[in-house]
Amino acid sequence: TAVLARANAGGLFSIGRTPDSEKTRSVFERALKKCRKQAERAGRARTGRCGRHALLLIIMEEMNMRDDNCIFCKIANGEIPSATVYEDDDFRAILDLGPASNGHTLILPKNHYKDLCEADETVMAKILPLAAKLGKSMKSQLGASGFNVVQNNGTSAGQTVFHLHVHVIPRYEGGPD
């Protein structure tokens, strides 16, 4: 419980989960085991101790808040640099690598959700107002006359990156794209 309290102090369980619930406890214990195993493999066999940061990453993965193989997780959490146009506690908005128009932006939640069906409802509730906010600044800052808000779920719907994201695509009258 002492270690659990330490993880809590890091704010890890603040996202709509009860800190001392059975589920949290079992996730934590599973993550700790995994982390120790990793530490042993990495050569720290004598103590089997794992670093706090490594443990937090594993806990997040166990809670499906993060997927180690997901590029948007790394971008959203700042592990891979990106052209960030907006950031808050829940989201990072970045410029799309293959833009459909000048200023094409992707809103990425910092937590990992494969698509809209998996997403936390509080995240869903925040994402559309953010899209509107970005759309408004595309109009005032980039001279866009309108914008599309697009969100793909599943391969057949055109989803290519399986970390929930919302496209905000500025449109221009007689301007760039």
**Residue numbers annotated as active site:** 165
- Answer for the pair 153, 159: CB distance below 8 angstroms, yes or no: yes
How far is residue 156's CA from residue 160's CA, in Å, rounded to a whole number? 10
* Residue 40's binding partner out of Zn ion, ligand 5GP, none, with CB under 5 to 8 Å set by partner kind: none
In the bound complex, what is the minimum distance in angstroms from residue 8's beta carbon to ligand 5GP? Answer: 33
For residue 106, the one-letter residue type is L
How far is residue 123's CA from residue 78's CA, in Å, rounded to a whole number? 19
67 lies in the binding site for Zn ion (CB under 5 A): yes
Using CB atoms within 10 Å of the CB of residue 66, give its burial: 0 to 12 exposed, 13 to 18 middle, 19+ buried: buried
In the bound complex, what is the minimum distance in angstroms from residue 97's beta carbon to ligand 5GP? Answer: 3
Task: Name residues whose C-beta falls within 8 Å of residue 40's C-beta, 6 or more positions apart in sequence.
Answer: 48
In the bound complex, what is the minimum distance in angstroms from residue 18's beta carbon to ligand 5GP? Answer: 33
Nearer to ligand 5GP, 15 or 130 (CB): 130
* Residue 153's binding partner out of ligand 5GP, Zn ion, none, with CB under 5 to 8 Å set by partner kind: none
Q: Where along the sequence are the contacts to Zn ion (CB under 5 A)? A: 67, 70, 72-73, 112, 163
